[in-house]
Structure 1
Amino acid sequence: MKQLLAILASSALLMLAACGSGNEETSGEASEKKTVKIGITQIVEHPSLDSAREGFIAALKDAGYEEGKNLKIDFQNAQGDMNNNMSIAQNLAADKNDLILAIATASAQSVVQSTKDIPILFTAITDPVGAELVESMEKPGGNATGTSDTHPDAIKNTIDSIKMFVPDAKKVGIIYNDGEPNSVVNVKHAKEAIEAAGLEAVETTISTSSEVKQAAESLVGRADVFYIPKDNTVVSALESVLNVANEKDIPAFVGESDSVKRGGFASYGFEYHDLGYSTGQMAVEILEGKKPSEIPVGYPESLELVINKKAAEEQGVTLTDEMLKDAKVVGE
């Protein structure tokens, strides 16, 4: 009898030990995520693209992926150089990252060309379908998806606001890099909106940021207002345009809210940090098993009019209470 009781006690201890071991393993798996490696390529640094990247990383952190712990990020900036841009894409593909984030159209196109095996997310893209990054917005197909920064009404609303803020304006000066596919699309939509508003577009193109100031100066006397689209080359040197706008009293309408904060006069826009955050949430889904082809492309859901009050003063715009009533005002 004593022998039987000893055997039963021993068996009970073994079962408890086994249960304890299993609980510890389950608990460990629940509390710790595996270490992941993400490559990030960005065509050029400027506040909007930087904010998108910061939002992406913030979403990962909120989901439990944190740099220095279980997240390794390899961030590379092409500095506007297309050859460098392609080399970065190829290196990130060869480095066997768990996921690659491409910020801006040129970066995304290079990454999509470089790998069909690694999941790709993109953000700050004007036209994902036109850029051949996805098959459609609803069903991306392939190994890429992400977020577009083109709200259907953003350009039209900004152009329409010209008539409210500068009633006597007739000609809209546009500066853009015609080598950026996203800019070509943006300018096409802007010209359609300009014509519909009864205005005339006056274009000048550049290929590098060093040409931006001269381009702005060439529009003095030919344009009543500036419109700066979401062009990475121009926006990276936006202060060159704004210096001319301030000196010559030419209101500078811009393509996104961050450029208003930097001294542009007005835009209908959104926060790029939020756009990047949404992209980061997609990254979490992919890291936890979902395929890019299963995630529809996202885009900003709302717009707000943003006005820089200081820029209005410097660029010769007289603001009324009626103009400001529905706007977010910065630069006070």
Structure 2
Amino acid sequence: MNRREACIAMLPTLVSPRILLAQVVGRMARIGFLVEPALDAPLQRAVVESLREGLRELGYIEGRNISIDFRSADGKYERLPALATELMLLKPDLLVTAYPTAALVAKDATRTLPVVAVCVDNPVLMGLAATFARPGGNFTGVGSWAHEIVSKRLQVMRELVPNARRLGILFNPLAVVGGLDSPIVEWERTLGIPIQQYKSTSPDDFEGAFAAMARDGVGGLVVLADSNTYTHRVRLNQLCLQRRMPSVWGGRDWLMGGALASYQSDFPHMFRRSATLIDKILKGTKPGDIPFEQSNKLELVIDTRAARALGITVPKTLLLSADHVIE
């Protein structure tokens, strides 16, 4: 082997894997991104910019060696299947989904394209993975806590309104796989208080749900995060004030002056972390061989504006344990 041949042979050990990827593929890597809620300013910061930040840290620059095609259903669940099909026609190298509904639509849309599902509750229960450690199919991702985090929100609600005789949960059945019947039995046993379910798939259900809560004597409400509650969070915050209903939510961007608190996984951290999984797939690892990760960063936010408006004194223990207090 002459000197030139020896130098060429050494290139794979000297050149960055990202540069090698660009040389082998011969084009920019293409990512499709599917989400149900509108990508407004808060979600742009928490989701889009966090994802881009994570990718930049790994050497991926949009327009240089990667492109991202974003598709949002603007809060309309029925638009998701057509948007998934639209993304598939662009022939991306992989698909990223945000939140459970988009992941479930992607599951129906493809069995072969690699998918990184971010902020899903339980990928095994949702049918996205055989196990967390060995997903086995075309999905991997970063999971949020499902029933465990709802249990914690109920505990926070109990601390905020210790005299409540009944608690309620407002949720979208389209976004909760398997329903809540079974876990509610355990939560009731743990907290020693009845818990009532209230379903809402659109804002048309809000007035009826709050009227039912009043009839049922609900003294505190946990609102589960989904596109419906996010898109119409201002209206729901107003209803909480009008009905004088203390509430705990699933994300700090849902707190608009009428919601008392939020306890949720750190969304920006999860989307930054998802860039690592994208990187592995683009370098050739099969998604089924990449373990689903579990969010390990949780955030408690207390909104004292709502507490004052509702005449509630937030226990000092909660204020001291909060990651952020909105004054």
TM-score by length of 1: 0.83
The aligned counterpart of 2:65 is: 70
Asked if residue 51 in structure 1 is aligned to residue 46 in structure 2, the reply is yes
The aligned counterpart of 2:112 is: 117
Paired with 2:171 and 2:53, the residues of 1 have a C-alpha distance of: 31
Which of 38, 45, 54 is the equivalent residue of 2:31? 38
Paired with 2:183 and 2:256, the residues of 1 have a C-alpha distance of: 23
Distance verdict in 2 for CA 1:247–1:23, change over 3 Å? same
Q: How does 1:1-332 map to 2 (within 5 A)?
A: 32=19, 34=22, 35-45=28-38, 47=42, 51-150=46-145, 153-182=148-177, 185=179, 189-190=183-184, 192-220=186-214, 222-260=217-255, 264-332=259-327
Q: Please, which moves more after superposition, 104-113 or 288-297? A: 104-113
The aligned counterpart of 1:3 is: none
AA matched with 1:204: Y
What is the count of residue pairs matched by the alignment?
Answer: 317
- 1:84-116 alpha-carbon deviations (Å, 9 max, x no partner): 211122222232101101112221122222223
AA matched with 2:30: K
Paired with 1:186 and 1:276, the residues of 2 have a C-alpha distance of: 27
Distance verdict in 2 for CA 1:71–1:178, change over 3 Å? same
- 1:167-197 alpha-carbon deviations (Å, 9 max, x no partner): 1111222222223334x54675356314431
The aligned counterpart of 2:25 is: none
Paired with 1:136 and 1:24, the residues of 2 have a C-alpha distance of: 38
Distance verdict in 2 for CA 1:212–1:139, change over 3 Å? same
Gaps of 5+ in 2: 23-27
AA matched with 1:56: L
Retained in 1: the 8 A contact 2:248–2:263?
A: no
Retained in 1: the 8 A contact 2:116–2:139?
A: yes
- 1:28-65 alpha-carbon deviations (Å, 9 max, x no partner): 86674621110001122375697234322221121111
Distance verdict in 2 for CA 1:291–1:268, change over 3 Å? same
Paired with 1:119 and 1:262, the residues of 2 have a C-alpha distance of: 40
Paired with 2:44 and 2:213, the residues of 1 have a C-alpha distance of: 27
TM-score by length of 2: 0.84
Paired with 2:181 and 2:34, the residues of 1 have a C-alpha distance of: 25
Retained in 2: the 8 A contact 1:145–1:292?
A: yes
Paired with 1:48 and 1:198, the residues of 2 have a C-alpha distance of: 36
The structural deviation recorded for 1:260 is 4.1
AA matched with 1:295: I
Paired with 1:314 and 1:28, the residues of 2 have a C-alpha distance of: 60
